[in-house]
Structures are given as structure tokens and as C-alpha cells.
Amino acid sequence: MKAEDAAGFAFGALRGYRARSLLMILAMAIGVAAVVVLTALGDGARRYVTGQFASLGTNLVIVLPGRSETTGGGMPMGMAATPRDLTLDDALALTRSHRVRRVAPIVIGSAAVSWGGLERDVPVMGSTAQLREVRHLELAQGRFLPAGDPQRGSPVVVMGAKVRDELFGAHRALGEWVRIGDRRFRVIGILRSEGRSLGVDIQELVIIPVASAQRLFNAPSLFRILVQARSREAVPGVKRFVVNTLRDRHQGEEDVTVVTQDAVLATFDKIFRALTLTVAGIGGISLAVAGILVMNVMLVAVSQRTGEIGLLKALGAPSRQILVLFLAEAAMLSLLGALAGLAAGGAGTWLLAYLYPVLPARPPLWAVGAAVGVALGTGLVFGTLPARRAARLDPVQALARH
């Protein structure tokens, strides 16, 4: 028997039992679609998060107060309990290396911003002029924080677009004086509306000079120091420099955490890859269930069609041929199911991308391949038992049971 005839025969059998074939294909399709959509979601989330980190700036070394990492080792836990504050002087000290391009100290807090009787509670970020380049911020109007002595906190503010809209409405905001907490600031710039960075919506943020923020919140400590290296290659050197400098400044104690953007990226990448694998596994379970359904359906098919099997044997089909015919049927069910599932998964992914444009939801190629492979594999594995049962049927009994 020719291969194409075997395929034609199997396909004819599938068409002959349309309802069961369609149900089977549906079950397989759901499994494949689940894997495709779930991995698209997981991988989309991974790309979204890593993209966010990349947009934070390039070649960054981030300094956090307190020692939370395990990399150094040998540090008794008790010593990390009360970390020394990161100060503005610490940040300034970090500028003294040729490998360092920019340093942006960051203070974060929340305060009421008011103008003309309207008041809004917004996140307030204190930093320096260099923040603009470090974080790739863009302005819609006006200018960013002025360069100059960061110790001198001038009363100026750069606003997110949404804060501006809510406070000023149709009024011109540039040059106006607003009240932040108990101090007055002059609006000198408006941030471009689009963009979100690391969970903080730039539209809802106001940025003031770091010294002003320290006074406003009455706290000398910094939330972060962002250090931008001159190049990617300089990042490890900058990291060493930062650690050494701050240890010298902190009486020999290594009480800060220094992470490079690459490390953060790598960590998130790893986490989300694991997540994607997990959801792929969950989708895989539905594929296995579909495989068991294939077996069930094929077993029913074999017992329904004993007469046909007996006849094929009487007409001179070897057992091997009957095995091949029933396996071909199972494989075809799986393949059609996988194709339908890919189509459904593609549609689902498209819908996701349509509903959540920020999420770059695309199934990774490996997941698509694996889903189709597993669908075919389970179909064949679970199709083997029924096919062997068919091949072993005694033709005399098969023909008698009519």
C-alpha cells in the first residue's frame, strides 16, 4: 500500500466519523492553543519587563542602601540590619572616576501638589540635571532641572503631563508657582506624556532638585544612586569603583548593594523564562489529556470497526498495514488538531496584542514547535495501543461480529 493511499484511507475514516473527529481535533486544538497563548503571555511579560529595564537607561550601575545580596559572603547577618544612609556626598564622590559618565542621586517620596485651590497627592522624585540623560527623559515643554551645585536646591519643578493637566487644565503651567508640601516651586518644564518606567508612571510624577527633596522630606538619605558608565565594557570597573569608594567612605563597611542593570535584566529574564516554562507545562497537561482522549477515541474506533478490520485482513492487508492505518489516523487527528490549535493560538495572541498593546505578546518559536511536537507525539504514543489492538484482531472473529 502506498503512503498516500494509507493517508487517504485514514482521512476517509476520519471524515466517515465526523463528529468524533471534530471533537478530537477540538480537544487537541485547545491544548496546543493553550500552550501557544500561555507562552506568548509569559514571554510577552518577560520582554515587557526587560524592555522596561532597558528603557531605564544604558550601562547603568544602581546603588541601593543596605546590604541585601548574598554575593559578598562572610558578613554576619546582624551587621546588615541597620544600614548606613546613602548621602548626597556619597553620590558626588562617585563622579570622580573617568569611567563614570553621569551620576544621578534619587530621592523618592510623596507629597501634595497644589495650585489655585486644586490639590493632588503625587510621587515626588528628587534628582539632578543628569537624570534626564541617565533615564532618557524627554520634555514636551520648557527645560529640565538646571545643572549646577546639587547641594543647592533651587525651587523649581518639572512635571509629568498628567499632573499638569489635572492641576492647570487649559491654563499655561510654565512659569507658574505651585505648592509642594509646605514649599513653593516654579514650574520650568513638562515631561513628554508617553512612557512608563519601572512601574512609575512618568505622567504622574513631579521632579525637583535633590537637595530640595531632601529638605522637603526632611531626610538626608538617598533612595538610589544611578551611575552611568562610559561604555558597556566599563560597567564592571565602575561597579568595583563604586563598591570601593563607598566602603572607604563608610569606614570600611560594605553596607550598600550595587547591582548592574545587566544583572537585574538577567535575573528578570531568568524569572520570566521559568514562568513561561511553567505555564507551557500547564498547557502541556491539557495536551496530555488530549492525548488520552485520542487513545479513547481510537479504542472506540477499533471496536466500532472490527468488521472493517477483519475485511481488510481478508482482502490481504498484513497486520503491519492495519497498524499503520490506525496510527496514521491518530497522527492525522493530532496534526489537524495541532494546526487548528496554532490558528486559534495565533488568533488569541493577536487578540492579546490588540487588547494590551504594551505587552509584546508573541509565542516563542520553541513553544510553538514543542506544542506541535507534543501533540503529534501524544497522538502517536496514545494511538499505538489502539492500533496494535486493531492489528492483532483475529479476522475470523472480527468478521463474525457484525
**Part in contact with another protein (CB under 8 A); list of ranges 84-92, 238-246, 273-281, 305-313:** 305-313
Beta strand segments in 192-307, E: 196-197, 200-201, 206-209, 224-229, 256-260
Binding mask of the shown chain, residues 319 to 348, with x at each position contacting another protein by CB under 8 A: xxx---------------------------
Does residue 307 interact with another protein by CB under 8 A? yes
Cα 294 from chain centroid (whole Å): 34
Q: Which is nearer to another protein, 271 or 314 (CB)?
A: 314
Can you read off the three cell numbers belonging to residue 244?
A: 570601593
Residue choice 289, 311, 335, 381 for contact with another protein (CB under 8 A): 311
**Part in contact with another protein (CB under 8 A); list of ranges 31-39, 76-84, 207-215, 317-325:** 317-325
Task: Count CB atoms within 10 A of the CB of residue 89.
Answer: 12
On the 0-12 / 13-18 / 19+ scale of CB atoms within 10 A, 76 is: exposed
**How far is Cα 297 from Cα 305, in angstroms, rounded to an integer?**
12
Q: In whole angstroms, how close is the CB of 22 to another protein at the nearest point?
A: 15
Cα-trace Rg, the chain: 33
Strand partners for 108: 125
Can you read off the three cell numbers belonging to residue 311?
A: 475485511
Q: Which of 162, 229, 166, 228 is nearest to 200 (CA)?
A: 162
Residue choice 7, 317, 343, 385 for contact with another protein (CB under 8 A): 317
Q: In whole angstroms, how close is the CB of 398 to another protein at the nearest point?
A: 9
Q: In whole angstroms, how close is the CB of 355 to another protein at the nearest point?
A: 44
Does residue 92 interact with another protein by CB under 8 A? no
Q: Which is nearer to another protein, 229 or 309 (CB)?
A: 309
**Part in contact with another protein (CB under 8 A); list of ranges 32-40, 115-123, 304-312, 357-365:** 304-312
Does residue 390 interact with another protein by CB under 8 A? no
Element (H, E) at 167: helix 161-168
Can you read off the three cell numbers belonging to residue 384?
A: 499505538
Q: Are 195 and 202 in contact (CB under 8 A)?
A: yes
Q: In whole angstroms, how close is the CB of 328 to another protein at the nearest point?
A: 13
- The single-letter code of the amino acid at 395 is P
Residue choice 312, 328, 372, 393 for contact with another protein (CB under 8 A): 312
Q: How many residues bind another protein (CB under 8 A)?
A: 26
Q: In whole angstroms, how close is the CB of 26 to another protein at the nearest point?
A: 21
Q: In whole angstroms, how close is the CB of 283 to another protein at the nearest point?
A: 34
Strand partners for 114: 119, 179
Q: Rounded to whole angstroms, what are the CA distances from 319 to 145, 194, 329, 392, 395?
A: 84, 68, 16, 7, 10
**Part in contact with another protein (CB under 8 A); list of ranges 13-21, 56-64, 155-163, 344-352:** 13-21
Residue choice 43, 90, 255, 308 for contact with another protein (CB under 8 A): 308
Q: Rounded to whole angstroms, what are the CA distances from 73 to 66, 70, 85?
A: 14, 6, 21
Q: Which is nearer to another protein, 109 or 395 (CB)?
A: 395
Element (H, E) at 121: strand 118-127
Residue choice 318, 347, 358, 369 for contact with another protein (CB under 8 A): 318
- The single-letter code of the amino acid at 332 is M
Can you read off the three cell numbers belonging to residue 382?
A: 496514545
Q: Which is nearer to another protein, 12 or 72 (CB)?
A: 12
Q: Dihedral of the CA atoms 310, 315, 319, 324 (nearest 10)?
A: -100
Does residue 13 interact with another protein by CB under 8 A? yes
Q: What angle do CA 270, 275, 279 make, to 5 degrees?
A: 150
**Part in contact with another protein (CB under 8 A); list of ranges 38-46, 199-207, 263-271, 393-401:** 393-401
Residue choice 200, 271, 358, 396 for contact with another protein (CB under 8 A): 396
Q: Which is nearer to another protein, 166 or 308 (CB)?
A: 308
Does residue 2 interact with another protein by CB under 8 A? yes
Contacts with another protein, residue ranges (CB under 8 A): 1-2, 5, 9, 12-13, 15-16, 307-308, 310-321, 395-396, 399, 402
